[in-house]
Amino acid sequence: MGYILIKHEVNDFNKWKTVYDEHKNVRDAAGLHEVYLLQNKYNHNEVILLFEAKNDNRALDFIESDDLKEAMKRAGVVGTPEIRLLEGASVNA
């Protein structure tokens, strides 16, 4: 299982959250499970999301999709979001 980390700034968190919630079925269909939805403590319009991804190919299709780009535009995402595909790492003690 992999992870997707998304960081972006939005014009208005409440407006963004409404569009984000409406887009849940698309995330579900892509096999994404929200682990964290975080806001910067000092700038609540900076949003960080961490998702578990059941399938790397479907996750990649999701983050490259025109549908996601349109949803981000409607939600008021500012600039280019940082999107990272991550995998778990072994930590030796």
- CATH code, domain with 56: 3.30.70.100
Are the C-beta atoms of 56 and 85 separated by less than 8 Å?
yes
Residue type, 66: D
93 part of a folded domain: no
| Closest CA relative to residue 44, chosen from 80, 76, 79, 9 | 9
92 part of a folded domain: no
> Total domain count for the chain?
1
Would the pLDDT of 91 be above 90?
Answer: no
Query: The pTM is what?
Result: 0.88
59 part of a folded domain: yes
60 part of a folded domain: yes
Q: What is the DSSP code (8-state) at residue 45?
A: T
Range of the domain at 20: 2-87
25-74 confidence digits (pLDDT tens): 999 999 999 999 999 999 999 999 999 999 989 999 999 999 999 999 99
| Closest CA relative to residue 31, chosen from 6, 11, 7, 60 | 60
Beta-strand pair 77-87/32-39: unpaired
